[in-house]
A and B are shown apart, each in its own frame.
Chain A
């Protein structure tokens, strides 16, 4: 079975500090894509960052970066210089060779002023 696991239901971080959200997955596919989505209270699903499994270089988007460890099947999200607007649910997701996005159960991130 192809699964995505987020083991941290809630995380908190002081404003301007750095936080890392964890995600692990399980698949036998060799070609797949990994994503982090942000869901603020508005309910909108916003793509934060994505990583192609065949790329060794970790993806970076401004203050957001990933640590992709393919052998360990790990895909963590690092948020640097946390801002109040980063408060949201964060979902790790993957597309394992078909059209289905498989989601983790989410991590609720709180930013402490």
Chain B
């Protein structure tokens, strides 16, 4: 049981490039989310999904796209990377609406130069 797996762990991008951060969970969790963590701040919600085929925007969605074609996977796409997107990105999941503990992945450190 691997929990929540994020790949890659580190990435450097040039301004304007696009890429996809991968997130997979093997716990059959219904709810999945993406957060970013910036220095001196707590985590902020980018996008979330309450089930396959259902996604919604969080607090800071601009510049990011998501889709949820399967229960297991929830990739985050950066359309055209900007230096302001330099951050640590976390994927999280929880079983469903009646459960409240989130499991986090180990994060992806992204640097945009």
B is bound to A: yes
Q: A residues engaging B (CB < 8 A)?
A: 4, 33, 35, 37, 42-47, 50, 52, 91, 93, 95, 99-106
User: Size of chain B's interface in residues, with CB distance under 8 A?
Assistant: 25
Contact B41 A101 (CB under 8 A): no
Chain A positions within 8 Å of B74 at CB level: none
9 closest Cβ pairs, A-B complex:
A103-B42, A45-B104, A100-B45, A33-B100, A103-B43, A43-B107, A99-B48, A44-B106, A104-B42
Q: Give B residues with C-beta under 8 Å from A.
A: 31, 33, 35, 40-45, 48, 50, 56, 58-59, 88, 90, 92, 100-104, 106-107, 109
Nearest chain-B residue to A44 (Cβ)?
A: B106
Beta-carbon nearest neighbor of B103 in chain A: A47
Residues of chain A within 8 A of B90, CB atoms compared: 45
- The residues of A that contact B103 with a CB separation of less than 8 Å are 47
Specify the chain A residue showing the minimal Cβ separation from B97. Answer: A99
Task: Say yes or no: B42 contacts A106, CB within 8 Å.
Answer: yes
Contact A95 B100 (CB under 8 A): yes
Would you call A93 and B56 a contact (CB within 8 A)? no
- Report which of B33, B50, B102, B106 forms a contact with A47, defined as CB distance below 8 A: B102
B92 partner residues in chain A, CB cutoff 8 A: 45, 101
CA distance A43 to B106 in the complex (A): 6
